[in-house]
Amino acid sequence: RHLKKYFPIKSGLLQRTTGQIKAVDDINLKIMPGDTFGLVGESGSGKSTVGRTIVRLTDKTEGEVLFKGTDLYKVQGEDLRKLRPRIQMIFQDPYGSLNPRIRVGDAIGEALLDHGLAAKEEIRERVLEVLGACGLSSYHIDRYPHEFSGGQRQRIGIARALILNPELMIADEPVSALDVSIQAQIINLFRKLQETQGLTYLFISHDLSVVEHLCSQVGVMYLGGMVEMASRDELFLHPLHPYTKALLSAVPVPIPRLKRERIILKGDIPSPANPPSGCKFHTRCPFATAECREKIPEFRDAGGGHFVACHLVVQ
Ligand code: SF4
Ligand code: MG
């Protein structure tokens, strides 16, 4: 609720704060249990920062992050320790977080030990269980990270998160580094795990075809703000925001059921340190008017839970 994350800009010898980057600037979103919420946008839109503030890899500046009614920024001590395993994060490059000298079975089991969730003698069995759920086997348990392909490493990353029995998984570009054929396998694994383990996902991606395939709800971010949010079908079949329309018309592999209205954007995404006035999208929007340059459009329900921030969309 009203989540904000500002980073100070420091410069000069004395590292004085000379400004701030509004990486996430007052966004609201709600993920229902069992949903896969896709958060999309170009790099620099703030979507990863949203994920990181939820798991507190970085602290929010303002707003609230509620998990089943509990404010994640207010829980402490034992309560926080119990809550942590329930929200897990998966990254684009699982290899970067795997120690090359630790066997993957131990790396996966480590999380259980760290959280005090299992006795030493139960761990191997639990590791085998999650390896199996992630499409790997006992053959892989005593091997080292370098012996695995990119797709297998992502399976290990998922297994490591899964062993803690999370309810919410935040996946930040989890398939972006993989070949397209491997992407499909990992996406199917995400799907299967959702059915068998009852998981809820926040799926962060710049790839709209992946999001269309996997997600039930979609939010589109631009320069730290949420510009549109709707169910997957609503958003893909009836996009309202010019930015969403432009993103959809630029999908390299066309999504068959999509009506494509070609919108070409001018220029690059502006610097978040110095965002445009009014509607932050006005410098690139083909429909911008004088009003757009001055007035910030409100993020409002255009009907049936389809939210949009654009002066052009009338109810
Ligand atoms: Fe374009 Fe104006 Fe809508 Fe912003 S508010 S998206 S500039 S039409
Ligand atoms: Mg990112």
pLDDT at 263: 82
Residue 48 placed within a domain: yes
For residue 249, give its domain range: 3-308
Burial per residue of 250-272, b for 16 or more beta-carbon CB atoms within 10 angstroms, e otherwise: eeeeeeeebeeeebebeeebbeb
The CATH number that applies at residue 224 is 3.40.50.300
By DSSP bridging, strand 87-90 and strand 300-301 are unpaired
Cβ(242) – ligand 1 distance below 6 Å: yes
Start-to-end C-alpha separation, the chain:
24
pLDDT at 264: 81
Cβ(287) – ligand 1 distance below 6 Å: yes
| Spatial distance between the Cα atoms of 59 and 43, rounded to a whole number of angstroms | 20
Q: What is the number of structural domains in the chain? A: 1
Which residue has its alpha carbon closest to ligand 1 atom 7? 282
CA atoms within 13 A on the CB side of 246: 21
pLDDT at 253: 62
Residue 168 placed within a domain: yes
Contacts of 116 (CB under 8 A, 6+ apart): none
What are the 10-residue block averages of pLDDT along the chain, 315 residues in total? 95 86 95 97 93 95 96 93 94 82 94 86 94 94 93 93 96 92 93 94 94 96 97 94 92 68 82 92 95 96 96 83
Residue 146 burial by Cβ neighbours in a 10 Å radius (0-12, 13-18, 19+): exposed
> pTM of this prediction?
0.93
Residue 313 placed within a domain: no
Residue 28 placed within a domain: yes
Closest CA to 88 of 213, 216, 174: 174
How far away, in angstroms, is 288 Cα from ligand 1 center? 5
Cβ(309) – ligand 1 distance below 6 Å: no
Torsion of CA 118, 122, 127, 130, to 10 degrees: -80
Tokens of 233: 């079908």
Residue 315 placed within a domain: no
Cβ(151) – ligand 1 distance below 6 Å: no
Atom of ligand 1 nearest to the CA of 282: 7
pLDDT at 188: 95
pLDDT at 247: 92
How far away, in angstroms, is 291 Cα from ligand 1 center? 9
Cβ(222) – ligand 1 distance below 6 Å: no
Cβ(292) – ligand 1 distance below 6 Å: yes
How far away, in angstroms, is 47 Cα from ligand 2 center? 6
| Spatial distance between the Cα atoms of 174 and 197, rounded to a whole number of angstroms | 19
Contacts of 85 (CB under 8 A, 6+ apart): 111, 115, 117, 164, 165, 166
Mutate to test the pocket of ligand 1, among 279, 294, 313 (most ligand atoms within 8 A of CB): 279
Contact 153, 95 (CB under 8 A): yes
Cβ(265) – ligand 1 distance below 6 Å: no
